[in-house]
Amino acid sequence: MSKKVHVKGTLVELDGDEMTRVMWKMVKEKLLLPYVDMEIEYFDLGLPNRDKTYDRVTLEAAEAIKKHWVGVKCATITPNKDRIKEYNLKKEWPSPNGTLRAVLDGTIFRSPILVSNILPTVKAWKKPIHIGRHAYGDVYKNQEIRVEQPGTAELVFSPADGSAPTKRLVHEFKGPGILQGIHNTDDSIRKFAKACFTYALDQKVDLWFSDKDTISKTYDSRFTQIFREESENWKTEFEQAHITYFFTLIDDAVARIMRSEGGILWACKNYDGDVMSDMLGSAYGSLAMMSSVLVSPSGQFEYEAAHGTVQKHYYKHLKGEKTSSNPMALIFAWTGALKKRGELDKTPDVVAFAQQLENAALETVQSGVMTGDLVKVAVPSSNNKVVYTEEFVDAIAANLRRKID
Ligand code: NAP
Ligand code: MG
C-alpha cells in the first residue's frame, strides 16, 4: 500500500451520539485512518460527556474550531424531557448546534450529494442547489398576542437615549384576532450576507438572494440593501471566479429554481430557508444524502451531516440487530473538512485523497450497492442490492483501495 497522506494543520473532531456515533467510528477506522495521517483535536460531544462536563466540552470544541479553522462534527442529541430520563441528565442541556452557531456566529449551508441513479424529482436539476438559511430573528424570535376584544395595536420603538418614541398604528381591532412582532439586526443580516458570499466563492457557484421587498418596504428592503452593499465588496473576487450575484423576489426565485439546472447558492431569510431546505432535501432523494456546513463570517468551516442521530436504527443496533443506516453524509462531512484543510494548508494530496474517497462512495451507490433508504428512491435496476451499513462501508473501502493502490 502507498504511503499515507499527511494532513498538515489540525482538524477539530466533534464526536456525537447513537447510530451516527457507531457509523462515525466505522468511517474513521475503515475509510480514513488506513490512508490519512492527521493531527486531530478530539472533543466528545456525546450526551453523557456533555452532561459530565456541564456542557463545557461544546464550548471548548467551538473555541478549538475558531482557533484551527476546520471542524468536523457527528450528529448529536438535543436533549428533551425524554432524553433527561433516558440519560439521567443533570439538566436539559442546549442544542450543541445552537451553541456552535452562537460562538462561531455562523450560517448553515446545506447541499445535496448527487448520484446518477437517484434522480431529483425536479427533472431540470442537474447540479446541486445549495441553501443558505439566515438562522436569526424574524418569526423564530417573535412576540405574539392573541387579541380577545376590540382595541388598538401599535408598534413602538423607544430610543435608549430618551428621545421621542417612534409609533406606528398596526391595526384597530374591531373584534378578536392575532398580533405578532418580529425583528432583525443589521449586524446579523450583514454576517449572514458575508457568510453567503464567502460560501458561494468557496463553491464557485452563483449566489441568489430573495425576499419580498416590494411588500415589506422597510424590513425586507434592509436585507436587500445589505446584500447589495456586500455584493459591491465582493465584486472583483466574484468576477475573477466567473460567478454572479443575483437578487430577485422570493416568488420569482421559487419559479426560477424549478426551471434552473442548479449550481446555485440560494440565500434565504429564516422562514424561507426552513421551508425550502426541506423541500430541496426531499426532492433530491434522502436526508442521508444532504451535507451541511456551518460557515463563520471570518471563514471558519464546520462540516456535518444534515440528519440527526438516527435514533430508531440505534435502538435496533442496541438489540443486536444489523441496520442499513446510510453513512454518506457523514463521509462527506469528513471529505469536506479534509478538502478545506488541504486547501488552507496548500496540500493538494489531501484534497486529492478526499476526492478519491467521495468518488469511491458515489461509485458504490452508482453500482447499485446501497442502504435501505436509497433503494426506495433509486432508479430500479437488477444491480440494486440493499446492504447493511458495515457491508456498505466495506464496499466503499474496497473501491477506495483499488483507486489508491
Ligand atoms: P434523524 O436522526 O434525522 O432521523 C429521522 C429518520 O430519517 C430516521 O428514523 C430514518 O428513517 C431517516 N434517516 C435519517 N438519517 C438517516 C441515515 N443516515 N440513514 C438512514 N435513514 C436515515 O431525526 P430524529 O430521529 O428526529 O432525531 C434523532 C436525534 O437526532 C434527536 O435526538 C435530535 O435531537 C437529533 N438531531 C441532531 C441533529 C444534528 O446534530 N445536526 C439534527 C437533527 C436531529 P427510518 O426510521 O424511516 O429509516
Ligand atoms: Mg424545518
pLDDT in tens, the chain (405 residues): 568 999 999 999 999 999 999 999 999 999 999 999 999 999 999 999 999 999 999 999 999 999 999 999 999 999 999 999 999 999 999 989 888 988 887 888 999 999 999 999 899 999 999 999 998 888 888 899 999 999 999 999 999 999 999 999 999 999 999 999 999 999 999 999 999 999 999 899 999 999 999 999 999 999 999 999 999 999 999 999 999 999 999 999 999 999 999 999 999 999 999 889 888 888 888 889 999 999 888 889 999 998 999 999 999 999 999 999 999 999 999 999 999 999 999 999 999 999 999 999 999 999 999 999 999 999 999 999 999 999 999 999 999 999 988
Ligand nearest to the CA of 19: 1
Ligand 1 centre to CA of 172 (Å) is 45
Residue among 141, 142, 53 nearest 93 (CA)? 53
Phi/psi at 169 (nearest 5 deg)? -75, 125
With a 6 A CB cut-off, is 316 part of the ligand 1 pocket? Answer: no
d(CA 306, CA 94): 18
With a 6 A CB cut-off, is 326 part of the ligand 1 pocket? Answer: yes
pLDDT for res 140: 82
For residue 265, give the C-alpha cell.
447558492
Element (H or E) spanning 302, and its range?
Answer: strand 301-305
Ligand 2 centre to CA of 275 (Å) is 6
Give the 3-state secondary structure of residue 253: helix
Outline where DSSP puts E strands in 119-205: 129-133, 143-147, 151-157, 166-173, 177-181
For residue 307, give the C-alpha cell.
440528519
For residue 199, give the C-alpha cell.
460560501
Cα four-point dihedral sign 231, 237, 239, 242: negative
pLDDT for res 405: 80
pLDDT for res 1: 54
Nearest CA to ligand 1 atom 47: 373
Assess contact for 287 and 326: CB atoms under 8 A. no
Closest ligand 1 atom, residue 77 Cα: 32
Cell 436587500 belongs to: 224
CA 166 to chain centre: 38
Ligand 2 centre to CA of 87 (Å) is 26
Ligand nearest to the CA of 110: 1
pLDDT for res 284: 87
pLDDT for res 2: 66
With a 6 A CB cut-off, is 324 part of the ligand 1 pocket? Answer: no
Assess contact for 147 and 178: CB atoms under 8 A. yes
For residue 378, give the C-alpha cell.
433509486
Closest ligand 1 atom, residue 23 Cα: 18
Q: Note residues around ion ligand 2 (Cβ under 5 angstroms).
A: 274
The CB density around residue 405, as the number of other CB atoms within 10 Å, is 7
Closest ligand 1 atom, residue 310 Cα: 2
With a 6 A CB cut-off, is 287 part of the ligand 1 pocket? Answer: yes
